[in-house]
Amino acid sequence: MVAGCGYWGANLVRNFASLGALVGIVDENVTLASQTSSKYAVPVLDWQNALADRSIDAVAIATPAESHARLVGQALAAGKHVFVEKPLALQREPAAKLVADAEGRGLTLMVGHLLQYHPAFIEMRALVQQGRLGRLRYIYSNRLNLGKVRREENILWSFAPHDISMILSLAGELPTSVHTEGSFHLHPAIADSTLMHMRFASGIGAHIYVSWLHPFKEQKLVVVGDQAMAVFDDGEQWDRKLTLYSHSIEWINGRPEPKKAVGEPVALLQAEPLEQECSHFLSSVASRSRPRTDGREGLAVLGVLEAGQRSLESGRTIEIEEIVGATKAAEPAADHFVHPSAVVDNDVRIGKGTRVWHFSHVLKNSNIGADCVIGQNACIGPDVSIGSRCKLQNNVSIYPGVTLEDGVFCGPSCVFTNVLNPRAEIERKNEFRPTLVKRGATIGANATIVCGSTVGEYALIAAGAVVTKDVPGFALMAGVPARRIGWVGHSGERLTKDLVCPREGRRYREVGPDKLEEIPATEKAS
């Protein structure tokens, strides 16, 4: 059932009807409801009667923003799964209650952050997660047009939620601070254009420029990394919507010199983002899986919007903890910390002192030891075991079959596989191959560990290496495929030619082909 058949609701009606899921519509405009009913051959329903109808599993809400919190709350109370257009609510506190209510009832709550379902953005996010852009430096978004001018909300709340959603997804964290400036040309209290600046703990900077007083339409998202840059321009044709620029900066005689590269168009699946979004909601309801833009994601976006609005009104920079209590609430009464944007399933054990950060997900039956750090946008499980004192950097997934012993370090975007020859259309869960990473090992950024391999104790896998076979303990591995190029000690320092650690002075010796052991301190040097 779709509630609201107006400007945007009509598009939801069209897509849910084409997906064969539309059972009825609700709208206070009798004429509009009648026309929509005739066009799609579905009945016009009364809202309260529809909520009481047990044959209706889910509702989509596309009514004015001020009604979202009330209607979502009523739908959840009636046991319905809910898709709601942005924003989830106009204040974070009632939105948080809706998220808790949905989770407590085991219901799907999804927020309509449409551009997260655009094929160009999905591919852009994949490029970031694969490390193709390197370390992210800066992100900016322009969303500009002439109209549609609103009076119930300003331009920040009307245009910027989509851009905030995309930037948070790319950064994998909430900003630490937000500063917004605006212009008020048509109404003294309703901003027509705003410029929002965001700073992130990882060092990423971002800004969002939105306006409905602009001579032409522009919808552009630019991501700048230290190895490449990507541009998502929704005004271009499909073959130019996403372009990758492998620009670089070289330092010559102490001066930075830009080296420009020709833009490379990225091939995309041509699909209507809204159809993809509606299909994703139906799939999430059917499988009871977490939607990409679930209530928690909507809550995070709402927190940034509130910070931006408060900055616009006060003229000062707003620390995000003032809105969401993100960082300074890191010492809760429990013996471990899970950030509010993270999700931890049932039957998960987390050791004392472990911290699970922004947008991470720990799936059922997983066990994480003590004093671990799980970085942003990590995915662990199900049925995964991680030892104590491990550190997982941003964008790391630990799949079933992978085991990390104590003290393992996983660099940003490193990859574990669990099947040698995966196919999307062939189920191969019975072919998972176990991967073991032994105590103290380090896996560098963007490295890949092919399933079935064992990484020995205190080994060090260089950034970007691809491990295709077992790795000896203390081995220094690099290349594609990875090969041993030396030895490292317990501290991770490369050993000298006489196998001495330059940091700790520990001595080692080779005791067989590709096998190293430490010489006990009580044993005299030969």
The region that residue 383 occupies, defined by phi over 0 for left and psi between -120 and 50 for alpha, beta otherwise, is left
Give ∠ CA 258-259-264 in degrees, rounded to 5. Answer: 125
For the ranges 156-160, 193-197, 336-340, the lowest mean pLDDT is seen at: 336-340
* pLDDT at residue 524 greater than cutoff 60: no
Q: Are 182 and 132 in contact (CB under 8 A)?
A: no
CB atoms within 10 A of CB 480: 12
Tell whether the model's pLDDT for residue 333 goes beyond 70.
no
Of 139-153, 194-208, 298-312, 316-330, least confident by mean pLDDT is 316-330
Mean pLDDT of the chain: 91
Residue length of the chain: 526
The band of 139, judged by pLDDT with boundaries at 50, 70 and 90, is very high
pLDDT digits (tens, 9 = 90+) for 75-109: 999 999 999 999 999 888 899 999 999 988 889 99
Q: How far apart are CA 150 and CA 192, in angstroms?
A: 9
Query: DSSP of 404-437, one letter per residue?
Result: E-TT-EE-TT-EE-S-SS-BTTB--GGG---EEE
Question: Which is nearest to 25 in space by CA: 51, 61, 1?
Answer: 1
Domains of the chain: 2-110 (3.40.50.720), 116-321 (3.30.360.10)
Position 259 scores a pLDDT of 84
* 223 pLDDT tier (thresholds 50, 70, 90): very high
The pLDDT score that the predictor gives to residue 329 is: 34
Residue-wise pLDDT for 148-166, tens only, equals: 777 767 989 989 999 999 9
Q: Does the predicted TM-score (pTM) go above 0.75?
A: no
Q: Rounded to an integer, what distance in angstroms lies between the CA atom of residue 6 and that of residue 9?
A: 5
Helices 295-314 and 155-171: crossing angle in degrees, nearest 10, is 120
pLDDT per residue as tens digits for the range 473-519: 999 999 999 999 999 999 999 999 999 999 888 999 999 888 999 98
